Chains A and B, each alone.
Chain A
Amino acid sequence: MARTPHDRRTFITRTVGALSGIALLPSPSLLLPLLLAQAKSVRVAVIGAGRQGRAILTELQKIPQVEVAALCDRSAARLESARSRAPKAAVFQDYRALLETSSDITAIIVATPTHLHRAIVEDAIAAGRHVFCESPLASTVEDCDAMVAAAAAAKTVCHAGFQGRSNPTYRRAQPLVRSELRDLVSWFAQSHRKTTWRFPAGEGETDQVANWRLDPAVSTGLAGEVGAQQMDVAAWCRGSHPTRITGRGGVRLHKDGRTVADTIEVDLTWDDGVAMRYQATLANSHGGAFELVHGINGSIRFAWTHAWLFKEADAPTQGWEVYATRQQVMDHEGIVLIANATQLAEQGQLQAGVGLPHPSLYYALMDFLKSVTESAPVACSFQDGARSSIVGIRANQAIVAR
């Protein structure tokens, strides 16, 4: 269920001001709205009309070929709010009724609280629907395993919502982790965002239900709800998942009786000895969310709408760098890696702060819809998504056990 919070401008200022680098931008075609190539229309339902559900609706509004035909949430107030972004949608408070009565809806997007994913996903698959499930996939290892098994037996598309794998900038940078950085030295990631995670209960809803992220019985904590997305980026780039996880955390700011940590640190180690430190907090917003990987030939900083490569002075120069456009950014001259840079410069696109034209969520949804309509390969399978979800779950367990 995690959105990926970013403080992009702060990050841009700090990073570009510190070093000159090579900005890793996607091709110009990605600066234009992506459309489903075959223009096939698809009727979708969104189950879960909280903040993430409404964010999904905002992105779906940009895709003319998508019709949001149904919305589902237990809360009438959330349904009403979401319906303003999908006025033609039928509304349901029970997802089973939606699945039973809306046979013409082919794709289901699940954005409910994490611990409710499994039942909805299994029923949607059983009903023959394509499924996009937000990350993390589930709140327990058992549920992850069950969802993977259900997806394996499915004849429909099952897409896990780990957005880094669909993000064009990350796709541009991902192969460079191996080809440019060579042997890895370390990996760091953080998510800093000052917020409470506490929300008012809606009508007929208990505080425990409304604040499920703060309920230790069902919550995967910061490590799962936020961290799994960023841990998945590391796993995806490395082609494997960490095998050793330790963690610690506590309540640093929100001392309102909660036991779910508002600040955590997690150490993840791969079999080859490469280690990742992950930090997340709800008590400080400095730096936002990013991932930073260091190798013997350079470093790459991922920041969701941007990624930069910073080369070590003794790193060999690659042929493609010769053709990269140089750009003055803040006080430093960087090299912009982007095709048709001259054309973009004429369009005023090559300026400090230029980034992806859509949030990562848009690209993840587009990948799902392409798989549904064009049989494109699934960008993040349930199997891959479950592995990263389990990393988040295990990290949370390590924090709680300590």
Chain B
Amino acid sequence: MGTRFELAIVADAATDVRRASSASAQGYGRPPKPWRRQSARAVDAEAVGELALREVEDWHQRLTRFEPDSWLSHVNRTAADEPVPLDDEVYSLFEDAIAVWRDSQGAFDIARGHGAALSLDPGTRTLRFLDDRVSLDLGAIGKGHALDCAVRCLRAHGVTRALMQGGTSSGIAMGAPPDGTSWHIGVSSGSDSGEVAEVIDLADLSFSVSDDGSQPDAPGGRHIMDHRQARGVRALQPSRRVVVIGPAARLTDAWSTALVVLGEVPPAFPSGYAARFVGQER
């Protein structure tokens, strides 16, 4: 299954909101109407958008577990036998993933039930599996990391206002749109009608939404697993739907997954981040 990423960049004039491109992990599609071209800057916006979406594609190719020739598949094949060297970016990503695993008491686990068997060595900056049953799935935190990297790319090229989302469940609001002080993000109730349950206003923040909705193709019929119990998250009445807001999309993504499993915000939830169970006061 591919995740579709979409990006809107606010270019120069107040009314000149341009749709840069869209991408999915399986291939790249573009909305039917491309760009108006009224200035050199508009072309720059398209070029910057292309670069940002290529960043997403690059990270997908490295971090997917579904392609045997990805870097992550290489790690899954070798890290039980020998330490795998990590570059600075990936080392930092694994540090965050392990921290969320620890702080969520294992509710979020990229090692799918074997989080305790991940060993990061800060001296050699390597990763090793202490159990040969470990197989990593970066899932949510990988998608959030790709969003963070894409937005960093946008900033490096002078973009200050943009909205980027991945899989309609995670996104980053850069700055604000021309006609306001924040981006308005509607959070669906999860019902078949697509009713908007809440609207959150964001500026220079990331957001992630997770729920325990069913997914027939997933193990146990649930797309979020409680690896502590080795089963899908039990459906609750009403179902859990949680929004996490904070500076880094990779952490909002990881924590929204963890909170769906936990059902409450643990004491170790990081400062600078906020969580809200949709339709419930927590």
Chain A interfacial positions (CB closer than 8 Å to B): 7-10, 32-33, 51, 54-55, 58, 61-62, 64, 77, 84-87, 193-196, 198-200, 211, 253, 256, 285, 288, 305, 353-359, 362
Contacts and interface: CB of A to CB of B under 8 A. Distances in A.
B50 to A, nearest CB: 5
A199 B20 CA distance: 12
Contact of A10 (B27, B37, B47, B82): B27
A194 B29 contact: yes
Contact of A285 (B27, B37, B156): B27
Given A32-B77, A33-B77, A33-B78, A84 B87 contact: yes
Interface in B1-54: 21, 26-30, 34-35, 37, 43-44, 46-48, 50-51, 54
Contacts of B95: none
Given A51-B54, A84-B87, A195 B28 contact: yes
Contacts of A33: 74, 77-78
B46 A355 contact: no
B88 A87 contact: yes
Given A51-B54, A77-B156, A194-B28, A355 B88 contact: no
27 contacts: A33-B77, A54-B58, A55-B58, A62-B74, A84-B88, A85-B87, A85-B89, A87-B87, A194-B29, A195-B50, A195-B54, A196-B46, A196-B47, A198-B47, A199-B47, A199-B51, A200-B51, A200-B157, A253-B34, A256-B35, A285-B29, A305-B68, A355-B67, A356-B69, A357-B74, A358-B74, A362-B69
A253 B30 CA distance: 11
A362 B27 CA distance: 22
Contacts of B85: 61, 64
B88 A288 contact: no
A359 B69 contact: yes
A237 B282 CA distance: 66
B30 A194 contact: yes
B115 to A, nearest CB: 22
B73 A200 contact: no
Contact of B68 (A77, A196, A288, A356): A356
Contacts of B234: none
